[in-house]
Structure 1
Amino acid sequence: MFFTYLRRELRRRRKAAFVVASGLALGIALVIVVNSVTAGMNRAQGKVLESLYGLGTDMTVTKAASPPGEGDIVRRPRFQFDAKEDGGGEQSQDVVMVQGFETLAASTVAKVGAQDGVAEAVGGLNARVMKVDGKFERGEAQPGKRVQGGGADFGVDSYTVYGTDVAHQGLGPLTSSKITAGRTFTAAETAAKVAVVDSAYAKEQGLAVGEKLTISGTAYGVIGIATADSGDAAANVYLPLAEAQSLADAKGKVTTVYVRATDSQRIEDVKGAIQKNVPGTTVTTSADLADTVSGSLSTASDLAAGVGKWLSVVVLGAAFVVAGLLTSSAVSRRVREFGTLKALGWKSGRVTRQVAGEALVHGLIGGALGIGVGLAGAWAITAFSPTLTAELGGGQRVVGPGGGGGPVREAAGRALDIALTAPVSLTTIALAVGLAVAGGLVAGGFGGWRAARLRPADALRRVE
């Protein structure tokens, strides 16, 4: 009887049912779109951070370079060339220097890894190579004239090197790139003369797998070409950590410790433990980096997180109120009907359940429509949304050996183009279904309460 009556009433009041369902659908669709856009922003921001630190890194441990005090000697690159008898000939020299941060003892990695809540800790070394090559030319003395001609013609090339712990390659900047040619390091190549080169730098220098790259007189065989997943690579050349330490005269030293926590909910606790138990270090989490992201990505993220959520709440609340009022109004127009049913023996609870059932069906229809519209909106955003840009640290960049720099601050000077997506998760769909049911129950509860208050005698005296 319940379902027979329900089907008849829904068929008889199709327009009213459509209006109520449409209102709920609009609010639910907006909630889906806002949640999917917010998820897309978080994913885009995650790509920015991954391109700097590497996949799976929750935080980094460094030691900031202290400004030189009075009387301190600042190390600067120094190039020395041997004199040749003819005064000419090709000359070339490399200077490899640690960049970005003060070095930490390699034992710091084990100390950080021993902290409660740390799943893995891996050390790495950031260095910059300054390469000067060219030639001197002897001048020629002309009779009765000064020496003419001669001079020097030198070029300067600078590129970055990252020393990676080949025995633990699950963390660090290299994980943000994919090997597109050749292979990556093996755990046995801790002291091997091998290198993985970023694809952009390899193209610029004409390097390919199997060729040699000479750094400070040492030839390294190129075993792989890596392509960054997004933005620029963290380094131009990747070497085994021991080799990078030897080149930079930093044996037993690292500049950065990359940390993965056992649980994402414990990141702040782990940060506090490291700061307390490993003094003199700076711990930077992904959340800290996210606060420094600027550009259109940050603006859109703030808009989605702030205005979008409040707008969806207001629209959804308004949809619930409208659905409740329309249901209540429909109950008022059905006074004689409910009065007659009560006179025939229907209890107030049965009338309430009937009205609530109709409103719940309205909510489910609205939920189905809202999910369809929301999925269409999320697809449209993914397909036609503009590319967003992101910068880290306000766009400041320090270039040159001995200055700041490092993967983080190097990346701060470049804009990363991120394609916005709007992924819809099962959680969002479940939220939409829950809102649809809640909307139907709110409307049905209000309308049922009105219907239950009707008295048969009063209802039969009224003319519809």
Structure 2
Amino acid sequence: MFGIYLKRELGRRKKAALVVALGLALGIALVITVNSVSAGMTQAQDKVLQSLYGLGTDMTVTKARTAPTGNSSQGPRFEFDASSDEDEEQSSDRVMTQGGQALESSLVTKVAGQKGVASAVGALTLNVTKVDGSFTQGRAESSAGGQSQGQGAGPGGGGSSTAAPQVQGGGAAFDVNSYSVAGVDVGHQDLGPLAASEITSGTTFSAAQSDAEVAVVSASYAKENSYKVGSTLTISGTAYRVIGVATPDSGESTTDVYLPLKQAQTLADAADQVTTIYVKATDSKQIDTVKATIQKNISGTTVTTSADLAETVSGSLSTASDLATSVGKWLSVAVLAAAFLVAALLTSSAVSRRVREFGTLKALGWPSRRVTRQVVGESMVNGLLGGVLGIALGLAAAYAVTAISPTLTAQLGTTGGGGMSGGPGGGGGPGRQASQNTMEIALSAPVSLTTIALAVGLAVAGGLVAGAMGGWRASRMRPADALRSVS
């Protein structure tokens, strides 16, 4: 009886049911669109962080550099032999630890022992400045004065003089090339600088190569300098054989050359030292707790998480993300609330026009709860219909955003800690020098099952709100009202 009457009444009031359903559908579609775009913004930010700082880590531990003393010089120093008479090609490398202050390798074990830490790996980030070129020796040439210097030359009058020798030609021409090097713990490559890349040519380091003179180069650096597997890369007089080429999972690598950690420590004269400790938490939901534990138990260190880095992303990506998070969500809430209110008012208005019907049903013996159930049932069907339409519209809008793929720019600035850029994952980590990295990201709008479930919940809620108001109105009607409505 309930189903038959429900179907008949909805069929009689198709236009009113469609208006209520469309109102709810627009609100639900906007919620789906905003949530999908927000999810796309989050994915885009993750791509930026992954491209610049890599994967496989939840946080990094570094230590800010201390301010240099007045007598110390932090600038690079190059020495060349300029005494040779021949024009010789000369080269000099300056290797310096990059970013924060060096940490003792023993701290890696201490960090790994903290509560909530699954694993920890140390890495050493270096900057190599290579200067090569040659000096060209100048030649001294003298020119004789062609005329007598009799006037003013003294009593002898008729003498002549030769002009002072002039140095002709000579000079120096040098090229300066700077690139980054990361020392990798070859026994734990799943965490640290190389974890963000895939070996697309050759092989990665083996456990037996912990102190071998071998290197892995990034794909971009290999292309720029024509390196391939088997090539030789020379740093400070040490020849390293290239055994692999690494391509980052997304974006461009911030590290050019990867060496075994011990080799990097030898180059930088930094035995048993690291600049960055990469940390993996046992539970991704407890990252803030682990961060606080490390900072409390290991004083003087700076712990940087992905959330910290996300705050440094600027550009149109950040602007769009702020709009989607604040304006978009508030707008969707406002539209959804308005849709609920309109649905409730329309349902209540429809009940008012059915005075004769409900009064007659009560006169036939229908209790108030049965009348209320009938109205709520009709509203629930309208709400579910609105949910189906809203999901369809929301999916269409999300698909349109993904198909268009608007391009957003993302700029990653610096975080705290002495002006150094910090971050989990890739070769730079918190130890990279402060810089402004700009990337272009294509925006997508993925729709998750959670978003669909939210839409269904909103549809049900909209039907209940409208049904509650209409049912309350219908339950208050009396059989006598039906008689008064008869003209």
* TM-score, reference length from structure 2: 0.89
- How many angstroms apart in 2 are the aligned matches of 1:375 and 1:187? 49
Q: What is the match of residue 112 of structure 1?
A: 111
Q: What is the match of residue 38 of structure 1?
A: 38
Mapped contact 1:174–1:234 kept (Cα < 8 A): no
Is the counterpart of residue 453 in structure 1 residue 468 in structure 2? no
Mapped contact 1:181–1:226 kept (Cα < 8 A): yes
Mapped contact 1:395–1:413 kept (Cα < 8 A): no
Q: What is the match of residue 178 of structure 2?
A: 158
- How many angstroms apart in 1 are the aligned matches of 2:457 and 2:437? 43
Q: What is the match of residue 123 of structure 2?
A: 124
Distance 1:394 1:215, change over 3 A: closer
- How many angstroms apart in 1 are the aligned matches of 2:486 and 2:220? 82
Per mean C-alpha deviation after superposition, the further-off stretch among 353-362 and 406-415 is 406-415
**1:453 aligned partner, one-letter code:** R
Mapped contact 1:96–1:248 kept (Cα < 8 A): yes
Q: What is the match of residue 154 of structure 2?
A: none
**2:459 aligned partner, one-letter code:** A
CA deviations on 1:320-360 (whole Å, 9 max, x unpaired) are 11111111111111111111112222221111111111110
Per mean C-alpha deviation after superposition, the further-off stretch among 308-317 and 176-185 is 176-185
- How many angstroms apart in 1 are the aligned matches of 2:465 and 2:141? 104
Shift of 1:297: 1.1
Mapped contact 1:173–1:234 kept (Cα < 8 A): no
Shift of 1:85: 4.8
Mapped contact 1:52–1:411 kept (Cα < 8 A): no
Shift of 1:230: 3.7
SS in structure 1 of the partner of residue 114 of structure 2: coil
Per mean C-alpha deviation after superposition, the further-off stretch among 55-64 and 367-376 is 55-64
- How many angstroms apart in 2 are the aligned matches of 1:410 and 1:68? 16
Shift of 1:147: 4.6
- How many angstroms apart in 1 are the aligned matches of 2:114 and 2:84? 60
Q: What is the match of residue 366 of structure 2?
A: 346
Structure 2, unmatched stretches of 5+, are: 144-164, 421-426
SS in structure 2 of the partner of residue 8 of structure 1: helix
One of 389, 406, 411 as aligned partner of 1:369: 389
- How many angstroms apart in 2 are the aligned matches of 1:117 and 1:180? 34
- How many angstroms apart in 2 are the aligned matches of 1:165 and 1:257? 11
Q: What is the match of residue 187 of structure 1?
A: 207
Q: What is the match of residue 244 of structure 1?
A: 264
Shift of 1:176: 2.6
Distance 1:98 1:64, change over 3 A: same
Mapped contact 2:52–2:428 kept (Cα < 8 A): no
- How many angstroms apart in 2 are the aligned matches of 1:257 and 1:127? 14
Shift of 1:435: 0.5
Mapped contact 2:137–2:170 kept (Cα < 8 A): yes
Mapped contact 1:335–1:462 kept (Cα < 8 A): yes
- How many angstroms apart in 1 are the aligned matches of 2:486 and 2:60? 76
CA deviations on 1:203-222 (whole Å, 9 max, x unpaired) are 11111122111111122122
Per mean C-alpha deviation after superposition, the further-off stretch among 371-380 and 89-98 is 89-98
Q: What is the match of residue 152 of structure 2?
A: none
Matches within 5 A, 1:57-206: 57-71=57-71, 73-82=72-81, 85-142=84-141, 146-206=166-226
- How many angstroms apart in 2 are the aligned matches of 1:439 and 1:433? 10
Matches within 5 A, 1:399-418: 407-408=429-430, 409-410=432-433, 412-418=435-441
SS in structure 1 of the partner of residue 7 of structure 2: helix
Shift of 1:59: 1.4
- How many angstroms apart in 2 are the aligned matches of 1:337 and 1:109? 78
Shift of 1:113: 0.8
- How many angstroms apart in 2 are the aligned matches of 1:87 and 1:216? 23
* TM-score, reference length from structure 1: 0.93
Q: What is the match of residue 50 of structure 1?
A: 50
Mapped contact 2:276–2:429 kept (Cα < 8 A): no
CA deviations on 1:291-317 (whole Å, 9 max, x unpaired) are 222111111111111111111111111
User: Greater CA radius of gyration, 1 or 2?
Assistant: 2
Give me the identity figure in percent.
67
CA deviations on 1:410-453 (whole Å, 9 max, x unpaired) are 47412111111111110110010011011111111111111111
Q: How many residues align?
A: 458
Q: What is the match of residue 23 of structure 2?
A: 23
- How many angstroms apart in 2 are the aligned matches of 1:43 and 1:189? 36
Mapped contact 2:413–2:437 kept (Cα < 8 A): no
Is the counterpart of residue 435 in structure 1 residue 458 in structure 2? yes
Is the counterpart of residue 275 in structure 1 residue 274 in structure 2? no
SS in structure 2 of the partner of residue 64 of structure 1: coil
SS in structure 2 of the partner of residue 415 of structure 1: strand
Per mean C-alpha deviation after superposition, the further-off stretch among 108-117 and 73-82 is 73-82
Per mean C-alpha deviation after superposition, the further-off stretch among 450-459 and 133-142 is 133-142
Shift of 1:143: 6.9
SS in structure 1 of the partner of residue 437 of structure 2: coil
**1:382 aligned partner, one-letter code:** T
Q: What is the match of residue 390 of structure 1?
A: 410
Mapped contact 1:235–1:407 kept (Cα < 8 A): no
Per mean C-alpha deviation after superposition, the further-off stretch among 138-147 and 375-384 is 138-147
- How many angstroms apart in 2 are the aligned matches of 1:75 and 1:356? 77
One of 310, 332, 345 as aligned partner of 1:312: 332
Shift of 1:161: 0.6
Matches within 5 A, 1:326-337: 326-337=346-357
Structure 1, unmatched stretches of 5+, are: 400-404
CA deviations on 1:25-54 (whole Å, 9 max, x unpaired) are 001011111111111111111122222332
SS in structure 2 of the partner of residue 223 of structure 1: strand
Per mean C-alpha deviation after superposition, the further-off stretch among 84-93 and 155-164 is 84-93
SS in structure 2 of the partner of residue 308 of structure 1: helix
Shift of 1:142: 4.9
Q: What is the match of residue 420 of structure 1?
A: 443
